[in-house]
Structure 1
Amino acid sequence: MKDVTAMHVNLPRALFALRASIAIFFAVWAIEKFVKPETTAAIWSKFYLVDGLPHEMSYLIGAIQLLVVILFALGLFKTWTYGFLLTIHALGTLSTWQVLITPYEGGNHLFVAAIPVLGALAALFLMRREDTWLSLG
Protein backbone atom coordinates (compact mmCIF):
# COMPACT_ATOMS: atom_id res chain seq x y z
CA MET A 1 0.00 0.00 0.00
CA LYS A 2 2.92 2.33 0.68
CA ASP A 3 4.07 2.08 -2.97
CA VAL A 4 0.60 3.01 -4.23
CA THR A 5 0.50 6.06 -1.94
CA ALA A 6 3.98 7.13 -3.04
CA MET A 7 2.97 6.80 -6.68
CA HIS A 8 -0.22 8.77 -6.03
CA VAL A 9 1.89 11.59 -4.54
CA ASN A 10 4.89 11.40 -6.88
CA LEU A 11 3.20 10.93 -10.26
CA PRO A 12 1.64 14.43 -10.38
CA ARG A 13 4.96 15.92 -9.29
CA ALA A 14 6.85 13.98 -11.95
CA LEU A 15 4.38 15.10 -14.60
CA PHE A 16 4.74 18.69 -13.41
CA ALA A 17 8.53 18.35 -13.82
CA LEU A 18 7.95 17.26 -17.42
CA ARG A 19 5.46 20.07 -18.03
CA ALA A 20 7.74 22.76 -16.56
CA SER A 21 10.86 21.61 -18.39
CA ILE A 22 9.02 21.23 -21.70
CA ALA A 23 7.51 24.70 -21.24
CA ILE A 24 11.01 26.15 -20.82
CA PHE A 25 12.18 24.24 -23.91
CA PHE A 26 9.34 25.62 -26.04
CA ALA A 27 9.53 29.13 -24.56
CA VAL A 28 13.12 29.44 -25.79
CA TRP A 29 12.01 28.56 -29.32
CA ALA A 30 8.96 30.86 -29.16
CA ILE A 31 10.98 33.83 -27.90
CA GLU A 32 13.61 33.25 -30.58
CA LYS A 33 10.94 34.04 -33.18
CA PHE A 34 10.85 37.61 -31.81
CA VAL A 35 14.54 38.03 -31.05
CA LYS A 36 15.94 36.43 -34.21
CA PRO A 37 13.21 36.23 -36.87
CA GLU A 38 15.89 35.66 -39.51
CA THR A 39 16.75 32.36 -37.79
CA THR A 40 13.11 31.33 -38.01
CA ALA A 41 13.11 32.18 -41.72
CA ALA A 42 16.27 30.10 -42.24
CA ILE A 43 14.80 27.12 -40.37
CA TRP A 44 11.55 27.32 -42.32
CA SER A 45 13.48 27.54 -45.57
CA LYS A 46 15.67 24.54 -44.82
CA PHE A 47 13.23 22.17 -43.11
CA TYR A 48 9.74 23.26 -44.20
CA LEU A 49 10.57 24.43 -47.74
CA VAL A 50 9.09 27.90 -47.15
CA ASP A 51 11.40 30.51 -48.63
CA GLY A 52 11.31 34.14 -47.61
CA LEU A 53 9.25 33.90 -44.43
CA PRO A 54 8.55 37.53 -43.50
CA HIS A 55 9.50 38.75 -40.03
CA GLU A 56 5.82 39.49 -39.35
CA MET A 57 4.99 35.80 -39.85
CA SER A 58 7.78 34.87 -37.45
CA TYR A 59 6.26 37.23 -34.87
CA LEU A 60 2.77 35.77 -35.42
CA ILE A 61 4.03 32.19 -35.13
CA GLY A 62 5.99 33.15 -32.02
CA ALA A 63 2.96 34.85 -30.43
CA ILE A 64 0.74 31.83 -31.02
CA GLN A 65 3.41 29.46 -29.78
CA LEU A 66 4.11 31.59 -26.70
CA LEU A 67 0.40 31.77 -25.84
CA VAL A 68 0.11 27.98 -26.10
CA VAL A 69 3.26 27.53 -24.01
CA ILE A 70 1.87 29.75 -21.25
CA LEU A 71 -1.44 27.86 -21.23
CA PHE A 72 0.50 24.57 -21.27
CA ALA A 73 2.73 25.68 -18.38
CA LEU A 74 -0.36 26.54 -16.36
CA GLY A 75 -1.92 23.16 -17.15
CA LEU A 76 -4.89 24.70 -18.96
CA PHE A 77 -6.86 23.18 -21.85
CA LYS A 78 -4.68 20.09 -21.59
CA THR A 79 -6.03 18.12 -24.53
CA TRP A 80 -5.54 21.09 -26.85
CA THR A 81 -2.31 22.60 -25.52
CA TYR A 82 -0.53 19.31 -24.85
CA GLY A 83 -1.78 17.97 -28.18
CA PHE A 84 -0.72 21.11 -30.07
CA LEU A 85 2.82 21.02 -28.70
CA LEU A 86 3.06 17.27 -29.30
CA THR A 87 1.89 17.73 -32.89
CA ILE A 88 4.14 20.66 -33.80
CA HIS A 89 7.13 18.98 -32.17
CA ALA A 90 6.40 15.70 -33.96
CA LEU A 91 6.17 17.53 -37.29
CA GLY A 92 9.33 19.49 -36.57
CA THR A 93 11.19 16.34 -35.57
CA LEU A 94 9.99 14.46 -38.65
CA SER A 95 11.07 17.35 -40.87
CA THR A 96 14.65 16.76 -39.73
CA TRP A 97 14.60 13.05 -40.56
CA GLN A 98 17.63 13.31 -42.85
CA VAL A 99 19.72 14.74 -40.02
CA LEU A 100 18.32 12.19 -37.56
CA ILE A 101 19.28 9.17 -39.67
CA THR A 102 22.82 10.50 -40.22
CA PRO A 103 23.64 12.13 -36.87
CA TYR A 104 27.42 12.10 -37.36
CA GLU A 105 27.45 13.70 -40.80
CA GLY A 106 27.50 17.46 -40.88
CA GLY A 107 28.64 17.75 -37.29
CA ASN A 108 25.29 18.40 -35.61
CA HIS A 109 23.92 15.44 -33.70
CA LEU A 110 21.99 17.70 -31.30
CA PHE A 111 18.89 17.11 -33.42
CA VAL A 112 18.66 13.69 -31.74
CA ALA A 113 17.68 15.52 -28.52
CA ALA A 114 14.29 16.12 -30.14
CA ILE A 115 13.47 12.43 -29.83
CA PRO A 116 13.36 12.19 -26.00
CA VAL A 117 11.45 15.50 -25.93
CA LEU A 118 8.94 13.90 -28.28
CA GLY A 119 8.71 10.89 -25.97
CA ALA A 120 8.20 13.15 -22.95
CA LEU A 121 5.45 15.05 -24.77
CA ALA A 122 3.73 11.80 -25.73
CA ALA A 123 3.92 10.52 -22.14
CA LEU A 124 2.59 13.81 -20.78
CA PHE A 125 -0.24 13.86 -23.31
CA LEU A 126 -1.23 10.29 -22.43
CA MET A 127 -1.16 11.07 -18.70
CA ARG A 128 -2.57 14.60 -18.88
CA ARG A 129 -5.46 13.77 -16.52
CA GLU A 130 -2.94 12.80 -13.83
CA ASP A 131 -0.95 16.01 -14.35
CA THR A 132 -2.61 17.90 -11.50
CA TRP A 133 0.20 19.31 -9.36
CA LEU A 134 0.41 23.11 -9.78
CA SER A 135 -2.09 22.85 -12.62
CA LEU A 136 -4.96 25.28 -13.05
CA GLY A 137 -6.80 22.92 -15.40
Structure 2
Amino acid sequence: MVMWTIDKLINPDHAGAVFANFYGIEGAGAAALMMIGLLQLVVVLAFLAGAFRTVTYGLVLAMHAVSTLSSYAQYFDAFNNLLFFAAWPMLAACIALFWLRKHDTLLAWDGRKSAG
Protein backbone atom coordinates (compact mmCIF):
# COMPACT_ATOMS: atom_id res chain seq x y z
CA MET A 1 0.00 0.00 0.00
CA VAL A 2 2.91 2.32 0.62
CA MET A 3 3.99 2.07 -3.02
CA TRP A 4 0.48 2.87 -4.30
CA THR A 5 0.42 5.84 -1.93
CA ILE A 6 3.77 7.11 -3.18
CA ASP A 7 2.57 6.63 -6.76
CA LYS A 8 -0.29 9.05 -6.12
CA LEU A 9 2.15 11.60 -4.73
CA ILE A 10 4.98 11.45 -7.26
CA ASN A 11 3.20 10.22 -10.39
CA PRO A 12 -0.41 11.44 -10.25
CA ASP A 13 -0.84 10.90 -14.02
CA HIS A 14 -0.30 7.17 -13.54
CA ALA A 15 -2.58 7.17 -10.51
CA GLY A 16 -5.22 8.93 -12.64
CA ALA A 17 -4.95 6.20 -15.27
CA VAL A 18 -5.40 3.55 -12.56
CA PHE A 19 -8.47 5.38 -11.21
CA ALA A 20 -9.94 5.58 -14.72
CA ASN A 21 -9.17 1.97 -15.65
CA PHE A 22 -10.09 0.16 -12.42
CA TYR A 23 -12.53 2.45 -10.61
CA GLY A 24 -14.22 4.19 -13.55
CA ILE A 25 -13.24 7.62 -12.21
CA GLU A 26 -12.22 9.72 -15.19
CA GLY A 27 -10.46 13.06 -15.07
CA ALA A 28 -9.25 13.07 -11.48
CA GLY A 29 -6.87 16.00 -11.29
CA ALA A 30 -3.32 15.83 -9.97
CA ALA A 31 -4.20 17.94 -6.92
CA ALA A 32 -7.09 15.65 -5.99
CA LEU A 33 -4.96 12.54 -6.44
CA MET A 34 -2.17 14.01 -4.36
CA MET A 35 -4.68 14.85 -1.61
CA ILE A 36 -5.97 11.29 -1.71
CA GLY A 37 -2.34 10.13 -1.55
CA LEU A 38 -1.64 12.29 1.51
CA LEU A 39 -4.73 11.00 3.31
CA GLN A 40 -3.80 7.46 2.38
CA LEU A 41 -0.25 8.06 3.65
CA VAL A 42 -1.58 9.17 7.03
CA VAL A 43 -3.77 6.05 7.25
CA VAL A 44 -0.96 3.70 6.18
CA LEU A 45 1.58 5.22 8.58
CA ALA A 46 -0.92 5.04 11.46
CA PHE A 47 -1.64 1.43 10.45
CA LEU A 48 2.07 0.59 10.47
CA ALA A 49 2.41 2.22 13.89
CA GLY A 50 -0.51 0.22 15.26
CA ALA A 51 -2.37 3.42 16.11
CA PHE A 52 -6.15 3.59 16.22
CA ARG A 53 -6.32 -0.04 15.22
CA THR A 54 -10.05 -0.37 14.66
CA VAL A 55 -10.10 2.65 12.34
CA THR A 56 -6.77 2.15 10.55
CA TYR A 57 -7.01 -1.62 10.18
CA GLY A 58 -10.58 -1.19 8.94
CA LEU A 59 -9.59 1.48 6.43
CA VAL A 60 -6.66 -0.58 5.13
CA LEU A 61 -8.99 -3.59 4.81
CA ALA A 62 -11.56 -1.48 2.95
CA MET A 63 -8.97 0.08 0.62
CA HIS A 64 -7.47 -3.29 -0.20
CA ALA A 65 -10.89 -4.93 -0.66
CA VAL A 66 -11.97 -2.23 -3.11
CA SER A 67 -8.70 -2.56 -4.98
CA THR A 68 -8.93 -6.35 -5.13
CA LEU A 69 -12.57 -6.50 -6.16
CA SER A 70 -12.31 -3.69 -8.72
CA SER A 71 -9.70 -5.74 -10.57
CA TYR A 72 -12.19 -8.52 -11.31
CA ALA A 73 -11.67 -8.33 -15.08
CA GLN A 74 -8.00 -9.22 -14.64
CA TYR A 75 -8.92 -12.56 -13.09
CA PHE A 76 -10.66 -13.71 -16.29
CA ASP A 77 -7.32 -13.61 -18.14
CA ALA A 78 -5.43 -15.28 -15.35
CA PHE A 79 -2.21 -16.29 -17.07
CA ASN A 80 -1.58 -12.76 -18.35
CA ASN A 81 -2.36 -11.22 -14.97
CA LEU A 82 -0.84 -13.58 -12.42
CA LEU A 83 0.32 -10.81 -10.08
CA PHE A 84 -3.28 -9.71 -9.47
CA PHE A 85 -3.87 -13.01 -7.67
CA ALA A 86 -1.42 -11.97 -4.94
CA ALA A 87 -4.13 -9.59 -3.75
CA TRP A 88 -6.30 -12.43 -2.44
CA PRO A 89 -3.97 -13.76 0.28
CA MET A 90 -3.25 -10.15 1.23
CA LEU A 91 -6.99 -9.54 1.54
CA ALA A 92 -7.29 -12.62 3.75
CA ALA A 93 -4.43 -11.30 5.89
CA CYS A 94 -6.15 -7.90 6.20
CA ILE A 95 -9.37 -9.61 7.30
CA ALA A 96 -7.52 -11.75 9.85
CA LEU A 97 -5.59 -8.76 11.17
CA PHE A 98 -8.79 -6.75 11.55
CA TRP A 99 -10.51 -9.61 13.39
CA LEU A 100 -7.50 -10.08 15.68
CA ARG A 101 -6.63 -6.39 16.10
CA LYS A 102 -7.15 -6.45 19.88
CA HIS A 103 -4.43 -9.07 20.14
CA ASP A 104 -1.96 -7.25 17.87
CA THR A 105 -0.07 -5.42 20.61
CA LEU A 106 3.61 -6.28 20.20
CA LEU A 107 4.64 -3.08 18.42
CA ALA A 108 1.39 -1.16 18.87
CA TRP A 109 1.67 2.59 19.21
CA ASP A 110 -0.76 2.83 22.12
CA GLY A 111 1.12 0.19 24.09
CA ARG A 112 -2.02 -1.59 25.28
CA LYS A 113 -1.63 -5.26 26.01
CA SER A 114 -4.32 -7.78 25.21
CA ALA A 115 -6.28 -9.29 28.03
CA GLY A 116 -5.34 -12.90 28.37
Give the TM-score normalised by the residue count of structure 2: 0.90
Q: Identity, % of aligned pairs?
A: 38
Query: Which is bigger in relative contact order (C-alpha 8 A, separation at least 6)?
Result: 1
Separation in 1, partners of 2:77, 2:54 = 34
CA deviations over 1:83-132 (Å, ceiling 9, x no partner) = 0010111011110111123312xx22211111111011011001101100
CA deviations over 1:37-67 (Å, ceiling 9, x no partner) = 1111000100111111100111011001000
Give the TM-score normalised by the residue count of structure 1: 0.77
Partner of 1:52: 27
Partner of 1:40: 15
C-alpha RMSD of matched pairs (Å):
0.9
CA deviations over 1:3-26 (Å, ceiling 9, x no partner) = xxxxxxxxxxxxxxxxxxxxxxx1
What aligned pairs does 1:112-123 form with structure 2 within 5 A after superposition? 112-123=85-96
- The AA in structure 2 aligned to 1:114 is A
What aligned pairs does 1:79-94 form with structure 2 within 5 A after superposition? 79-94=54-69
Tell me whether 1:125 sits opposite 2:95 in the alignment.
Answer: no
- The AA in structure 2 aligned to 1:76 is A
Q: Do 2:20 and 2:26's aligned partners in 1 also have CA atoms closer than 8 Å?
A: yes
Q: Do 2:9 and 2:34's aligned partners in 1 also have CA atoms closer than 8 Å?
A: yes
- The AA in structure 2 aligned to 1:53 is A
- Aligned with 2:48 (options 73, 98, 116): 73
Q: Which runs of 5+ in 1 are unaligned?
A: 1-25
Separation in 2, partners of 1:52, 1:62 = 16
Runs of 4+ that moved beyond 3 A: none
